[in-house]
Amino acid sequence: MAKYLLVSFKTCPWVQRAAIVLREKKIEFEFRHIEPDNRPDWFLAISPHKKVPVLRLDDRVSLFESSAIVEFLDETIAPRLHPADPVARAINRAWTDYVPTFSQAVTGSGYAATEVDFAKAVEQIPVAFDRLEKALEKQGAGPFFNGAAYSLVDAAYAPFLQRYFYLDRVKPLGVIEKFPRLKAWAEALVARPSTHSFPPAEFEAMYREGLRRRKSWVSQFIEAPRVAAE
């Protein structure tokens, strides 16, 4: 069994995607978090794009780009998370290719610097949600993208659907309620233990801190933590 090291920024959704697949496959791995603003030399030496995630194999080879990492894991370690049928597999891959566009709508809203930019980004959320809703209608019953079987599509969308809920709790957006299949799917993903690299409340606090640090427009709506009454 190879030795796996996953190099991470704690709140990176692309790292989370790789970590989810490692957990779904019950692969033991070292999870090493580094700071975005202080990337160590050893990391710069093993990461071709200087980005996370990097999956280091046996301290010998670096895999990078979350989609390449999870495809590699799926080809090498059971259980298979891609459907066996080539047509279904192609459709799954097409939907994971849509993740960067989808993620832009959600993370773009969270990180928008002004009210105008926020409004523009939020307009894109129902567009992306509607596409997924229609795909889920075609896929049939849930709870996951392929029905009962968990797949790489689930692992790819879980981090972004989780962040939608986080953002919605900072500033209510009220979008997902209009897409019942997507909402049920998102709830199933958030309820799945493999989605979580950290305890959920701790991770939501990190997300909020990230909005504050970036001085995003929406961060003004984050409530100060309540101090217990003496």
Ligand X SMILES: N[C@@H](CCC(=O)N[C@@H](CS)C(=O)NCC(=O)O)C(=O)O
Among 4, 7, 9, 186, binds ligand X (CB under 6 A): 9
| Closest to ligand X by CB, 53 or 83 | 53
One-letter amino acid at 131 equals R
Min dist. Cβ of residue 65 to ligand X (A):
5
What is the bridge-based pairing of β-strands 4-8 and 30-33? parallel
| Closest to ligand X by CB, 103 or 139 | 103
Min dist. Cβ of residue 208 to ligand X (A):
17
| Closest to ligand X by CB, 14 or 95 | 14
Distance CA 17, CA 21 (A): 7
Cα maximum dimension of the chain: 62
| Closest to ligand X by CB, 9 or 102 | 9
C-alpha dihedral sign at 55, 198, 188, 143:
positive
Among 12, 19, 70, 158, binds ligand X (CB under 6 A): 12
> What are the φ/ψ torsions at residue 144 (nearest 5 degrees)?
-105, 175
| Closest to ligand X by CB, 67 or 124 | 67
C-alpha angle 194/91/126, rounded to 5°? Answer: 75
Min dist. Cβ of residue 154 to ligand X (A):
16
Distance CA 132, CA 138 (A): 10
One-letter amino acid at 115 equals E
One-letter amino acid at 110 equals G
Residues 47-106 that bind ligand X (CB under 6 A): 50-53, 65-67
* Residues touching ligand X, count (CB under 6 A): 10
Report the interface residues with ligand X, using CB under 6 A: 9, 12, 14, 50-53, 65-67
